[in-house]
Amino acid sequence: MNPPSPRLLVVDDHRKIREPLAIYLRRFGFDVRTTEDAAGMWALLKQDVFDVLILDVMLPDGDGFELCRTLAHKSTAAVILLTARDACADRVQGLDAGADDYVVKPFEPRELVARIHSVLRRRGTLGTTVTAVPPALPAPLRCYQFADLSFRSGCNTLTRRDRSQVRLSTVEGRLLEVFLDHPNTVLGRERLIELTSRPGSDLFDRAIDRQISRLRRKLDDSALQPLLLQTVWGGGYRLAANVAQQPG
């Protein structure tokens, strides 16, 4: 039998960091739990055993450095500190507090995965179940027709009403294809990240709202009163269009 997946606990009070990061890490085979504060961390540590804690230094109810010192006596988990403080003195303070590693925000999620693997290897707990996600098979090419526009998925080409063609970035094309596969459906930000992200994807590192704004410009959709990519307050975004598709 394969050993169980290493268990990670992400402790960060910023939901837009915590939840997308958990989604990303699960794609590498980790078993991930999350919490927003130190109180939640201690509660989860009473219930479960974790291999690695990914701990934000600045929590609303605790200092990460002090928490790290306490964890050294109360938990066997490795600790990777996350912080926006990148001075040498801060890094030294974190390592002296007992942290196994130290990652400065903003960070590349791929680098964090590599550091988690490194910590697990040093502790001899890296199981065979944790591997990089293999490349997905190429999706079949499709052509979508919607609102007098057309989009070819394979080459990320959008054709406007005046027949001019616009190249979309990989992320923009992936995002548009998700909307086209779910027309007239409200998709929340976390759901969009889940449907569009890939290991190494840059969508995780950028605000989803910014990607929507860029896509609206290329669709010639009004930023103030969008007719196609509509904002649903408190819910997310919706492509308000009927969509027809055929093999590309």
pLDDT per position as a tens digit, 179-221 = 999 999 998 877 787 777 654 444 444 467 888 888 999 998 8
Q: Which residues pair with 34 in a beta bridge?
A: 10
Mean of pLDDT values over 101-127: 81
Q: How confident is the model at residue 3 (pLDDT cuts 50, 70, 90)?
A: low
Mean of pLDDT values over 119-123: 84
Find out whether 59 and 35 touch, Cβ atoms under 8 Å.
Answer: no
Question: What DSSP designation does 187 have?
Answer: B
pLDDT of residue 126: 58
pLDDT of residue 136: 45
Q: Where are the domains of the chain?
A: 7-123, 143-246
In the chain, the DSSP E strands lie at 7-11, 31-35, 52-56, 58-59, 62-63, 78-83, 101-104, 142-146, 149-152, 157-159, 165-167, 229-232, 236-239, 243-247
| Region 143-246: CATH code | 1.10.10.10
Mean of pLDDT values over 114-125: 84
79 three-class SS: strand
Mean of pLDDT values over 143-167: 89
Enter the tokens of residue 146.
């919607």
Find out whether 57 and 65 touch, Cβ atoms under 8 Å.
Answer: yes
Dihedral sign computed on CA atoms, order 12, 119, 20, 4: negative
Beta-carbon contacts of 163 under 8 Å, excluding residues fewer than 6 positions away, are none
Question: CATH second-level architecture of 7-123?
Answer: 3-Layer(aba) Sandwich (3.40)
Enter the tokens of residue 235.
């819910």
Compute the distance between CA of residue 24 and CA of residue 150 in angstroms, rounded to an integer: 31
In tens, the pLDDT along 5-38 reads 889 999 998 888 888 889 889 988 899 999 999 9
Q: How confident is the model at residue 138 (pLDDT cuts 50, 70, 90)?
A: low
Determine phi and psi for 25, rounding to 5 degrees.
Answer: -65, -35
In tens, the pLDDT along 59-88 reads 988 888 888 888 888 888 899 988 876 667
Full-model pTM: 0.55
Query: In the predicted model, is pLDDT for residue 130 greater than 60?
Result: no
Mean pLDDT is lowest, of 104-108, 109-113, 213-217, for 104-108
